[in-house]
Amino acid sequence: MKLETRNSKLKTGARPWYRPSLTTQILIGLLAGGLLGYISPDWGNRVYFLRDIFLNLIKSIIAPLIFATLVVGIAGGGDLKKVGRMGLKALLYFEIVTTIALFIGLGIVNLTKPGYGVALTAVRDISQLQQTHPQGFRDMLVHIFPSSVLDAMVRGDVLQIVAFSALFAVAVSAMGKVAAPILRGCEALSQVMFKFTGYVMMFAPIGVGAAMAHTIATNGLGVLVNLGKLIGSLYLALVVLVVFVFGSVMIIARVPIKQFLRAVREPFTIAFATTSSESALPKAMEVMERFGVPRRVVGFVMPTGYSFNLDGTTLYLAMASVFVAQAAEATTGQHLSFGRQIVMMLTLMITSKGVAGVPRAALVILLATLNNFLPNGLGAIGVAVIFGVDELMDMGRTSVNVLGNCLATVVVARWEGEFDDKRARVFGTPEEARLDLREGDVAFADAVAEG
């Protein structure tokens, strides 16, 4: 009966009006949450626990999903040289795009000059940030390798989970037939976790609605006026990055743009509403695999990109640092020259690589960098000013981080000559589910049929 129902859905491709797609449900949740937060701030704050429930459910998926997909992708592929080559290509791509993002941010902030006229007055207690220190390059290298994988999974440290899973997969591959039961178990686990992700996503409209209600209830609409020029400049820079840089990459890599945008819209929306890349990771991995990116590429590139390919965050760091320097100019009378800005950008390029394991990562890196360039504690006061609107900017930079990492998986797959154009062309259509059924992938066929 279930197979007949699924087949009837695939034939029609239609969806009843009372059962909208997940993307539509999330957008409705966003609007409803924003309206609730505006009309009744008290209730907007009360429902925030629903957002925490959603994020906790998502976090419970990440460790087993990354572990299973990486082990199957690396050990099941059989050629370990490909893994090393893929890693080098991914890191090269990450470095090029994040560097471009830094200079886009630098250009826009010097063009719009949002910091001039902003008074550097402490508005929040930032002692938490001052007590936290970013990781240096050596510390980051040590941090990559966990002393306990269980501890890494409990903390949700993506980079440590990736490192352990990759080494474990190499060991499984080296053992050959002896480790075949483990490989089959990981294959089954990855399928179960994708199905579990589908169940959790049913709660996404409520979770993102609660997050938006809390944002509007806490900050109000007035916060958009106070530092609106900075917020507007950031979103302008993000649009430039997405349209011109990501768009050029899609054209060069021959990515089916319409189908790609359809694939990333749900993880993008989830990341925007929750300001959490983790919340979008399971869904992003699922849709990229459906889009035609091999499992081993998705399992390696996307989690690694969450530490090394934060395009939106690096652009934000460039803009926020110069914004604070512009605001500080009224107090110090010292203009931060373009040469000094370049030095600051190079510092950010190095220090931002250690944001993966740091709470409030972007603000910590920003504070540490500004303290080296601005006198009299003005860097800390500048971060305090940004603190008030950081969540609104976090929405944009986090969603662009997710978009950039999805694109990175496609680029690396294309670079490796393993991108499935046929799957990409039929993504989101009834033909995709029929293709899954022919190939025996019932889990993905169910995901397509259920929207």
pLDDT: which is higher, 438 or 182? 182
In this prediction, residue 55 has a pLDDT band, given cuts at 50, 70 and 90, of confident
Percentage of residues of the chain with pLDDT beyond 70: 76
Chain centre distance of CA 135: 20
In this prediction, residue 358 has a pLDDT band, given cuts at 50, 70 and 90, of very low
Over residues 57-69, the mean pLDDT reads 82
d(CA 279, CA 451): 19
3-state SS assignment for residue 113: coil
pLDDT at 164 over 80: yes
Enter the DSSP assignment of 357.
Answer: T
d(CA 61, CA 279): 10
d(CA 294, CA 105): 33
Question: Would you state the structure tokens that stand for residue 420, as one six-digit string?
Answer: 């499935």
Domains in the chain, CATH or no CATH each? 2-450 (1.10.3860.10)
pLDDT reported for residue 37: 86
Q: Which of 26-35, 53-62, 375-384, 398-407 has the highest mean pLDDT?
A: 398-407
d(CA 112, CA 107): 9
d(CA 20, CA 22): 7
When the pLDDT of each residue in the chain is averaged and rounded to a whole number, the result is 78
pLDDT reported for residue 1: 41
pLDDT reported for residue 356: 44
Over residues 234-250, the mean pLDDT reads 95
> pLDDT tens digits for 385-423?
776 677 778 889 989 999 999 999 999 999 988 898 888
Enter the DSSP assignment of 294.
Answer: -
Inter-CA distances, 287 with 190, 209, 215, 307, 413, Å: 14, 22, 28, 20, 14
pLDDT at 68 over 80: yes
pLDDT: which is higher, 293 or 273? 293
